[in-house]
Amino acid sequence: MSHQSSASRSARRFGVLLAASALVLTACSTPSAPGSDSDDPAATGDSTGVTDTTVTIGTHTPLTGPAAAGYSSISAAATAYFEYINEEGGVHGREIEYIVKDDGYNPANTQTVVRELVQQDEVFAIVNGLGTATHQSVLEFLNQNKVPDLFVASGSTSWNQPDKYPFTFGFNADYVVEGAALAQYAADELPGTSVCMLGQDDDFGDDFLTGLETALGADGVAHVERYSVSNQDVTAQIGALQAAGCEVVTLATINGFTALAIGTAAQLGWFPQWMASSSGADYPTLQGYLGDAAPQLLQGFIGTNYSPMGDDDWVTLFREINDEYNDGAPFDGNTIYGMSVAYTFAEALAAAGEDPTRESLLEAITSGDLQGNGIAPLAFAPDNHAAYLTVGITSVDQGVQDYIGTTYEVRGGAVTAVEPAPVALTGNGIPG
Give the number of other CB atoms < 10 A from CB of residue 141. 18
Distances (CA, A) of 197 to 245, 274, 396: 12, 10, 20
Beta bridge partners of 273: 248
Homologous superfamily (CATH) of 3-32+45-173+312-387 is Response regulator (3.40.50.2300)
pLDDT by 10s per residue, the chain, length 432: 333 433 333 333 333 333 333 333 333 333 333 333 333 333 579 999 999 999 999 999 999 988 888 799 999 999 999 999 999 999 999 999 999 999 999 999 999 999 999 999 999 999 999 999 999 999 999 999 999 999 999 999 999 999 999 999 999 999 999 999 999 999 999 999 999 999 999 999 999 999 999 999 999 999 999 999 889 999 999 999 999 999 999 999 999 999 999 999 999 999 999 999 999 999 999 999 999 999 999 999 999 999 999 999 999 999 999 999 999 899 999 999 999 999 999 999 999 999 999 999 999 999 999 999 999 999 999 999 999 999 999 999 999 999 999 999 999 999 999 999 999 999 999 998
Q: Does domain 175-305+394-418 have CATH number 3.40.47.10?
A: no
Residues of the chain within CATH 3.40.50.2300 domain(s) are 3-32+45-173+312-387, 175-305+394-418
- Which residues neighbour 388 within 8 Å (Cβ) at sequence distance 6 or greater? 171, 172, 173, 177, 306, 374, 375, 376, 378, 379
Give the number of other CB atoms < 10 A from CB of residue 226. 15
